[in-house]
Amino acid sequence: MTHPTLPHAGADAGCRPRPGKVWLVGAGPGDPELLTLKAARLIAQADAIVYDHLVGDGIVTLARPGARLIYAGKEASRHTLPQARINAMLARLARENLAVVRLKGGDPFIFGRGGEELEALAAAGIPFEVVPGVTAATGCAAYAGFPLTHRDHARMLTFVTGHLKHGNADLDWLALARPGQTVVFYMGVAAAEDIARSLIAHGLPADTPVAVVRQGTLKTQETLFTRLADFPAHLRETKIEPPALIVVGSVVGLHEKLCWFP
């Protein structure tokens, strides 16, 4: 039996990436095997790779010999390069007639500043392409043993950043405390006290299940299962540090029968 050949998506799919262009690539939540085929191909063929702190070990090593590897990671209160310099560097590398991969942990359009970087490239007249990745919420939940949505628990899913651009954490707590949903906080460990207090104050039950996941999908994954009222104290006791993902909702309780990852 013969099988039809699937068409490639994008003008550059299946061939060496053309120079003078930037690919914004999602590296997934950590495990290199969760890379998309397109992401792995572009990483292996790029002339230059500008990568972030949250890109998993073993992913950058897929780069070809001779490729430029440029670290542009951002950690809490410690930025290797300001965002404006990263934007300018991407444009400069493309103007050097290089095929550039901008490699970001998770998905570049989910709290990854991917949109900001593409705006800068568009303003500079630099061609670009986006390769989505498995976002941290999807990967961490799957490897922690619970779904993010479920007909009996959550028919809505909300992603929230706990670290806003101008330091403003004035979120719509009434909406976030509504029943029947799962709320995922990115970059929220430092705001754990505010998250718990505000959600309870706006009506979410104090015994709502909470999961905190660090280094999700890796062998070093750390997972804390607790309840809303207790999770700030338990977070301090376990000394789980950022970056970590916080998931709030009754779906978290399903890990007791769905957990599969050791």
Question: Which positions are catalytic?
Answer: 52, 74
Calculate the dihedral angle through the C-alpha atoms of 80, 168, 138, 221, rounding to the nearest 10 degrees.
60
Q: How far is residue 8 from each of residues 11, 38, 74, 134, 179, measured CA to CA in Å?
A: 8, 10, 34, 20, 42
Name the residue among 106, 158, 152 with its Cα closest to residue 131.
106
Q: How far is residue 10 from each of residues 15, 40, 261, measured CA to CA in Å?
A: 10, 16, 35
Those residues with Cβ within 8 angstroms of residue 41's Cβ, 6 or more apart along the chain or in another chain: none
Q: How far is residue 57 from each of residues 30, 49, 52, 54, 220, measured CA to CA in Å?
A: 7, 14, 11, 9, 12
